[in-house]
Amino acid sequence: MKKILAITLARAGSKRIKKKNIKQFNGKPLISHTIKAALESKKINRYIVSTDSKEIAKISKFYGAEIPFMRPIELAKDNTSDFLALKHALEQMNNIYNYQPDIIVNLRATSPFRNGRIIDRAINKFLSSKADLLRTVSKVEGVHHPYWMYKINKNDYANQFVKKININAYYQSQKLPDIYRLNGLVDIYKRESIYKNKILNGKMITLVTSDSISHDIDTISDFKFAESLTKK
């Protein structure tokens, strides 16, 4: 049986929303919704939260997550990549517990609408593939399509963002080709993909997820919009 470790990276600092990871969302700390989904999964063998914050650690532990170590502050800065934080987590799990997972599932604390079923769907798809990583994606609709986007120069003149296309052929949204964006709902990697820093450029398979569960919270407006969805 594959050893599958799920990790939530939850640092204390947040520029756009103060204490974002533990801000109250639908009556509970934001991170608690990710913890609940991870614990619902039938495929995940072990689930941990990597944090530099004692407050986040205490709250995460209360809701059922394992806090096997504290992340050093130098790996919890604005510019710290997921790669470095995940690599540190794997090294700590190996050094402290002699634990080496085969598969790592990255569950961001800022996606409160996922559930255990979608996590397991992603894991099953990844396990049946030959990919280095899986990332969930959402379909790009209408006005957000890159064919309809422009770069603006300093004199306010516009240039097509996507070059070498006949924009006149795509004046109707129905004519636009299907394009997908990463949504951060579930990322899955082989252990060696992390050690070789292939979490962005390895052989990737995708799982398309609906907008209703893929909303990611990054700004105050994201937070307010997500809260409004819980009231419908």
Best CA proximity match to 76, nearest among 131, 158, 21: 21
How far apart are alpha carbons 213 and 210 in whole angstroms?
6
Instruction: Detail the DSSP E strand segments found in the chain.
Output: 4-9, 24-25, 28-29, 46-50, 103-106, 133-139, 150-152, 158-160, 180-190, 204-208
17, 24, 37, 213, 232 from 228: Cα distances, Å? 17, 14, 20, 14, 7
**Amino acid identity at 221:** S
Q: What confidence score (pLDDT) does residue 78 get?
A: 86
The predicted-structure confidence for 126-178, as pLDDT tens digits, reads as follows 999 999 999 999 998 877 888 888 899 999 999 888 887 777 777 677 778 88
Number of Cβ within 10 Å of residue 50's Cβ equals: 25
Per-domain residue ranges of the chain = 4-140+179-230, 142-175
Query: Is pLDDT above 90 for 232?
Result: no
pTM for the complete prediction? 0.90
Give me the pLDDT at residue 155, please. 92
For domain 4-140+179-230, the question of CATH label 3.20.20.70 is answered with no
> DSSP alpha helices (H): ranges in the chain?
30-40, 54-62, 82-97, 116-127, 191-195, 220-230
Q: Give the whole-angstrom CA distance, residue 39 versus residue 134.
A: 20
pLDDT in tens, 45-69: 999 999 999 999 999 999 999 999 9
Tokens of 116: 């255990």
Query: How far, in Å, CA of 150 to CA of 160, rounded?
Result: 5
* Distance separating alpha carbons of residues 192 and 194, to the nearest angstrom: 5
pLDDT score recorded for residue 96: 95
Q: DSSP label at 177?
A: P
